[in-house]
Structure formats: C-alpha cells, structure tokens
C-alpha cells in the first residue's frame, strides 16, 4: 500500500504482528510495517512523529558515495567479519581461495577466459563455507546462554533479510552476515534465537533481545545503514 501526502515515498506493509510497528528505509523508500488492523490515521500519526528521523536518514542515504561494482582483481578489498582484506590473484593449476597473511589469496588458471567470474564464484563459496562454520559456532554458544535449542541452523541466499526463525525452530541466516563485524553477527544470532522465546516482534520479544544486547538498536541501525543485502 502506497501512502501519499508526505515529502518522501512511503510504502505500508501490513503484517500479522499484533502490536508493534516499525519504520525503516530501503534506499530512498520509507517502509512501514504495521499490524493489519492499524488504521491509516494511526499510521500517518506514526510517520509524522518519526518524520525528523526519517528526513535525517534520507539525507544520510543521499550523501552516501555510490559504490563501484567489484572488478575482482588484485588490490580490491573485500570485507570479512568487519575487516577488509585485499584480493591477491595468482596464476596456478587448481582454482582456490584462502585467507593467508592478511590477503584473500586466489588462484586461477592462466587459460581462464573469464577469471573475474571464477573469482566471484570462489569468493562467494568461501564466504558461504565460513558463514556456515562461524554461524553454527555462534548459534551454539548463544543458544546455551539464552536457554533455547534451535532444531537446525542453515545458510541461505536471502535477498532482503538477514535471517529467519521458523515456528518449528529452524533458523536460517543470510550468508552475507559474515561480512559484518563480530558484534553485528552476534546480534543477528541473538535476534533469531529470541524468536524461540517469542515469535513475534512484540515488546516482550524486544525485552528478551535487550537482556542480551542492550545496544541492539545500534546494531539494528548498523544493519539498516550498511546494505550488504
């Protein structure tokens, strides 16, 4: 539902959540998630109250430098757990990639007619495998602290979310989470684990999150401002 009458584009998404409403940005589009039963008048009031914050975030977004598409050549930097590592491309017989001496050392065949595509594929596979390992470790550690037991943990290629938690206890993470700093990754893990205590984003749910992550709002803000997804 598009809502007119504001100085910025607004899209309203009605969900099954019972109480809480949230406002976030996708580029220069303001998205508002609200319960299905919330009236348009209440939604407009909510947006009006948050307009100063929205305008501030839109200004920050408009001033962000446009990132260049990656060329997958030596010297380019790629993030992993919040740190940037330079790519080092080497000719060899067996295509591979590994983190060595502070570099993402990548081997491609001399005869490769499209080395950039090969490197991109190798890098994504490397990210996925490390995401699978690291997120499994972090989920196991935090699950003990929270006192829950997820049924399974998997890695997905989500386009617009960082993770998900099904009612049956299956947790899935976007492999791109592994690009973010440790603290942010831990927050994503806690976010999903707390859904095993309270499935909706209710005030009760956020109290669970705050118990383990008092600065959860900062972490959520980081995720919204750093559009890895």
How far is 6 from 45, CA to CA, in rounded Å? 12
Segments in 147-215 forming alpha helices (H): 182-193, 203-212
**DSSP code of 113?**
S
- Strand 103-108 and strand 83-91: the pairing is parallel
> Please, what's the b/e burial string for 14-31 (b: 16 or more CB within 10 A of its CB; e: otherwise)?
eeebeebbebebeeeebe
Q: Is the pLDDT assigned to residue 229 strictly greater than 70?
A: no
To which residue do tokens 């030596």 refer? 74
- The per-residue pLDDT for range 69-94, each reduced to its tens digit, is 899 999 999 999 999 999 999 999 99
In this prediction, residues 1-8 reach a mean pLDDT of 84
Q: 223: Cβ–Cβ under 8 A, 6 or more apart, which residues?
A: 162, 180, 184, 187, 188
Domains of the chain (ranges plus CATH)?
Answer: 10-63 (no CATH), 77-225 (3.30.2010.10)
DSSP string, 32-85: EEEETT--HHHHHHHHHHHHHHHHHHHHHHHHSPPPPPP---TT-EEEETTEEE
With 60 as the cut, is the pLDDT of residue 35 above it?
yes
**pLDDT tens sequence across 107-141:** 999 999 999 999 999 999 999 999 999 999 999 99
What sign results for the dihedral spanned by CA atoms 131, 133, 138, 140? positive
Q: What is the pTM of this model?
A: 0.74
In the structure, what pLDDT confidence band is assigned to residue 27 with cuts at 50, 70 and 90?
confident
């Amino acid at each position: 539902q598009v809502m007119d009458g504001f100085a910025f584009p607004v899209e309203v998404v009605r969900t099954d959540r019972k109480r809480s409403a949230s406002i976030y940005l996708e580029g220069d589009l303001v998205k508002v998630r609200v319960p299905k039963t919330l009236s348009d008048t209440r939604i407009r009031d909510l947006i009006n109250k948050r307009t100063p914050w929205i305008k501030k975030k839109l200004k920050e977004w408009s001033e962000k430098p446009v990132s260049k598409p990656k060329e997958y050549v030596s010297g380019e930097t790629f993030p992993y757990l919040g740190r940037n590592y330079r790519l080092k491309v080497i000719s060899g017989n067996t295509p591979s990639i590994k983190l060595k001496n502070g570099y993402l050392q990548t081997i491609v065949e001399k005869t490769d007619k499209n080395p950039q595509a090969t490197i991109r594929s190798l890098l994504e596979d490397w990210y996925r495998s490390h995401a699978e390992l690291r997120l499994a470790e972090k989920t196991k550690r935090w699950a003990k602290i929270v006192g829950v037991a997820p049924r399974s943990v998997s890695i997905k290629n989500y386009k617009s979310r960082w993770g998900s938690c099904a009612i049956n206890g299956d947790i899935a993470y976007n492999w791109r989470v592994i690009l973010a700093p440790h603290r942010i990754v831990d927050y994503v893990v806690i976010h999903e684990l707390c859904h095993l205590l309270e499935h909706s984003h209710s005030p009760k749910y956020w109290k669970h999150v705050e118990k383990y992550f008092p600065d959860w709002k900062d972490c959520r803000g980081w995720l919204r401002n750093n559009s890895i997804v």
